[in-house]
C-alpha cells in the first residue's frame, strides 16, 4: 500500500508515501517533515481518490518500499527479543536505586551540615560551582527532585537583602525532607507518596490514573504561567472545580518552542475527569477524560471572600504537606493598591493587605480603577502573583458598580 507521484517544484520531485505507517520520502530539499508535496499527495488521495489510479510501483518507489517493509519487520521483532517482565529483576533494580538515593542523600546531608558548621557567610566567596557539583551528584544518585530544589536555592546567596534568612529557611526545608525520607516507613501512605515524588521518583501517567484519585467536575481554567529554561518550557495551569471546590495544577512540558500538548484557554470551563497524583494534599493532576469542550466563563470567580479565609485554608494545606510551594488563591472583592516605591498590595474588604508581585500589576490596576474586583493568583507565601492573561482581563471585572 503506497502512494507516489512526481511534483514540479523548483525541480521535479519524487514523492513516496508508505501508507501502513504513514512514512514519507521526497527528493525535495525541505526540512519540514512531512514536506508539502507529500501532504498534498495524501490530501488528493483522501479527497479525490478517483485522481489516483492503481498501478505497479516504478523502481524508485519499489526499492524504497522494500526498505520500509524490512525496517518495520526489524522493529516488530525487537520487543520479542526483550525478556518478559521479571518481578525479581524489577525488585532488584528498585533496591539498587533506593541504595543510590540513600547514598546521595547522605552526601547532601553532610554537605549541608558543613555549610552550617563553617557558616553561610563563607558562601559569599565560594560562588555557585559547589552548588552545581552537589546538584549533579544528586542527579547521578537519581534524586532529581532534590537536585532541582538545590538548584533553586543556589541562586539565593547575595540575591536579596535577607538572602541569609531565605537561604537558611530553604536549606531547612530541604533538611526536613531528607529527615522525612529517613523515616519514610513511619509516614502515612499519602505523605509517603509526596516524599518519594519530592525526592525524585516520578509516576507514569497511567500509574496516576491507576492510583484512583479521580474527580469528575466542571473545571474552570483560572490561568497559567510558563517557566522557561534553556532547553524546555514548563507550563503550570491552575484549574478549580466548580462543584467540588478542588484545586488542580496541570503541568505540561515542551521542548524549545514546540507547543504544549493540551490547550487550556483562561476563563473557559469544561466538564472533565481529572486524575490527581497521590499526595497528602493532592494538587497536581492530569486531564484523564474530557467530557465537553471548553466554553467561556461569564460568572464571578469561585473563591474566598477574605484573605483570612484563604490563609486559613493555606495553613491547613501546609499542615498536611509542609513542602507545598505555590498555592492557588482566589479572592473576591479585592482592590489592587500601589504604595510607596511601587510596592503593590491587594486589599480585601476587611482592609487586610498582602503583597502583589509579578508583571500584570498595572493591568490589574487599569481593570480595577480602585474598585473591588475578583482576582486569581499564585501565592508563594510571600506575594500573590496575578494569573494574568489578556483574555482573562476582559472578564476579571465582575465588579459591582461603585456606590
Per CB under 8 A, residues contacting another protein are: 109, 112-114, 116-122, 164-165, 168-176, 179, 307-308, 311, 314-315, 318-319, 322, 335, 337-338, 345, 347, 351-354, 362-363, 365-367, 369-371, 381, 390, 393-394, 397, 401-402
Distance CA 334, CA 371 (A): 8
Nearest approach, Cβ of residue 324 and another protein (Å): 9
Distance CA 382, CA 349 (A): 20
348: its cell numbers: 480585601
CB nearer to another protein: give 95 or 369.
369
Nearest approach, Cβ of residue 283 and another protein (Å): 16
Nearest approach, Cβ of residue 198 and another protein (Å): 13
Nearest approach, Cβ of residue 44 and another protein (Å): 18
Nearest approach, Cβ of residue 319 and another protein (Å): 7
Q: Please name the residue ranges forming H helices in 141-296.
A: 144-154, 163-182, 189-199, 205-211
Distance CA 135, CA 122 (A): 19
- In terms of Cα–Cα distance, which of 194, 247, 190, 256 is closest to 228? 256
CB nearer to another protein: give 72 or 383.
383
CB nearer to another protein: give 62 or 190.
190
Residue 395 and residue 298 in contact, taking contact as beta carbons nearer than 8 Å: yes
CB nearer to another protein: give 51 or 402.
402
CB nearer to another protein: give 42 or 365.
365
Kind and range of the H or E element at 232?
strand 232-241
CB nearer to another protein: give 234 or 352.
352
Kind and range of the H or E element at 259?
none
Nearest approach, Cβ of residue 343 and another protein (Å): 11
Q: Is cis: bond before 34, omega within 30 of 0? A: yes
DSSP code string of 70-105: HHHHHHHHHHHHSPPP-HHHHHHHHHHHHHHHHHHH
Nearest approach, Cβ of residue 144 and another protein (Å): 21
CB nearer to another protein: give 23 or 197.
197
Amino acid at each position: 500500500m503506497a502512494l507516489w507521484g512526481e511534483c514540479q517544484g523548483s525541480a521535479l520531485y519524487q514523492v513516496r508515501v508508505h501508507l501502513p505507517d504513514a512514512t514519507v520520502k521526497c527528493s525535495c530539499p525541505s526540512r519540514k517533515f512531512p514536506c508539502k508535496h507529500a501532504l498534498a499527495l495524501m490530501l488528493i488521495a483522501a479527497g479525490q481518490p478517483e485522481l489516483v489510479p492503481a498501478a505497479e510501483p516504478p523502481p524508485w518507489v519499489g526499492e524504497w518500499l522494500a526498505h520500509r517493509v524490512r525496517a518495520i519487520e526489524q522493529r516488530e521483532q525487537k520487543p520479542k527479543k526483550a525478556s518478559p517482565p521479571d518481578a525479581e529483576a524489577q525488585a532488584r533494580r528498585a533496591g539498587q536505586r533506593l541504595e543510590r538515593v540513600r547514598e546521595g542523600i547522605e552526601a547532601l546531608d553532610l554537605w549541608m551540615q558543613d555549610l552550617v558548621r563553617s557558616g553561610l557567610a563563607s558562601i559569599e566567596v565560594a560562588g555557585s560551582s559547589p552548588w552545581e557539583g552537589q546538584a549533579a551528584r544528586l542527579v547521578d544518585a537519581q534524586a532529581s527532585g532534590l537536585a532541582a530544589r538545590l538548584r533553586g536555592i543556589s541562586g539565593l546567596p547575595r540575591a536579596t537583602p535577607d538572602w541569609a534568612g531565605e537561604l537558611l529557611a530553604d536549606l531547612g526545608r530541604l533538611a526536613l525532607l531528607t529527615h522525612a525520607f529517613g523515616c519514610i516507613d513511619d509516614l502515612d501512605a499519602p505523605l509517603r507518596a509526596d516524599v518519594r515524588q519530592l525526592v525524585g521518583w516520578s509516576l507514569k501517567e497511567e500509574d496516576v490514573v491507576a492510583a484512583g484519585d479521580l474527580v469528575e467536575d466542571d473545571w474552570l481554567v483560572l490561568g497559567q504561567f510558563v517557566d522557561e529554561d534553556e532547553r524546555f518550557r514548563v507550563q503550570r495551569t491552575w484549574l478549580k472545580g466548580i462543584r467540588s471546590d478542588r484545586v488542580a495544577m496541570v503541568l505540561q512540558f515542551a521542548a524549545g518552542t514546540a507547543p504544549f500538548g493540551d490547550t487550556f484557554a483562561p476563563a473557559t470551563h469544561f466538564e472533565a475527569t481529572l486524575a490527581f497524583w497521590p499526595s497528602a494534599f493532592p494538587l497536581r493532576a492530569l486531564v484523564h477524560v474530557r467530557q465537553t469542550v471548553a466554553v467561556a466563563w461569564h460568572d464571578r470567580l469561585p473563591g474566598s471572600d477574605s484573605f483570612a479565609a484563604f490563609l486559613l485554608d493555606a495553613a491547613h494545606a501546609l499542615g498536611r504537606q509542609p513542602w507545598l510551594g505555590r498555592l492557588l488563591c482566589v479572592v473576591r472583592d479585592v482592590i489592587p493598591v500601589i504604595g510607596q516605591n511601587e510596592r503593590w498590595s491587594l486589599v480585601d474588604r476587611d482592609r487586610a493587605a498582602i503583597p502583589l508581585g509579578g508583571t500584570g500589576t498595572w493591568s490589574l490596576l487599569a481593570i480595577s480603577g480602585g474598585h473591588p474586583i475578583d482576582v486569581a493568583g499564585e501565592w508563594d507565601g510571600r506575594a500573590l502573583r496575578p494569573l494574568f492573561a489578556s483574555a482573562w482581563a476582559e472578564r476579571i471585572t465582575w465588579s459591582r458598580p461603585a456606590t
